[in-house]
Amino acid sequence: MKEIVFATHNAHKASEIRNILGDSVKVKTLTDINLFEEIPENGNTFEENSFLKADFVRARVSDFTMCIADDSGLMVEALDGAPGVFSARYAGEPADDKRNVAKLLDNLKGVENRRAKFVTVITALINDKSYSFRGEIEGVIIDECRGTNGFGYDPVFVPDGYDLTFAQLPSEVKNSISHRARAIRKFVDFINNL
């Protein structure tokens, strides 16, 4: 695997995946292949939405051989798994990280159970076959934003075993333990054993 198309418009995800995969693989995003359309994400699960993104690319690339997509989100125990697949647009359209985090903290005001997990599902489409790889990391939601690294809900998520949020931890640390890193590593193991 020397080059791969990553079906995302999210520059943060692309930078994390480049970091996780290292220099040996060239990761091309939708911007790099001039696909600027919004991809409909109307599935009920991370698996469904991840597949929809990858399939969207397959339908639009003429000499298609392989692409990957990432659908991710935060699942909060006390909110019955919300925001879940609606993480990007939790506070409505247009998607806005700051408003999403504010809404989350508001919904958790006075709530004692702060347990949550991040989930990533990577779909790999290889020729006409689809494979999915799930990564998760558990932690807690604190009651204020801390740190400026990362994106999305990183400033309020403290992974188990750490005292700092994903937005305070160096990106190398997040990229070695995150939901995304765990899913991507499963994908890489799979590819290496093909």
Q: Which of 70, 71, 97, 154 is catalytic?
A: 71
To ligand ITT, the closest distance from the beta carbon of 25 in angstroms equals 18
Residue 179 token pair: 């939901």
Q: How far apart are CA 81 and CA 193, in angstroms?
A: 34
Catalytic (active site) residue 160: no
Residue among 67 and 88 whose Cβ is closer to ligand ITT: 88
Buried b (16+ CB within 10 A) or exposed e, 25-51: eebebbeeeebeeebebeeeebbbbbb
**Interface residue list for ligand ITT (CB under 6 A):** 8-10, 13, 41, 53, 70-74, 87-88, 97, 100, 118, 150-154, 166, 178, 180
Residue among 66 and 122 whose Cβ is closer to ligand ITT: 122
Closest residue by Cα to residue 53 from 30, 82, 27: 30
Which amino acid does the sequence have at 118? F
To ligand ITT, the closest distance from the beta carbon of 46 in angstroms equals 8
**Nearest residue to ligand ITT on Cβ basis:** 152
Beta bridge partners of 117: 75, 138
Torsional sign, CA 18, 178, 30, 156? negative
Chain centroid to CA 172: 16
To ligand ITT, the closest distance from the beta carbon of 41 in angstroms equals 6
Residue among 3 and 93 whose Cβ is closer to ligand ITT: 93
- CB-neighbour burial class of residue 167 (10 A; exposed 0-12, middle 13-18, buried 19+): buried
Residue among 17 and 112 whose Cβ is closer to ligand ITT: 17
To ligand ITT, the closest distance from the beta carbon of 155 in angstroms equals 9
Active site residues: 71
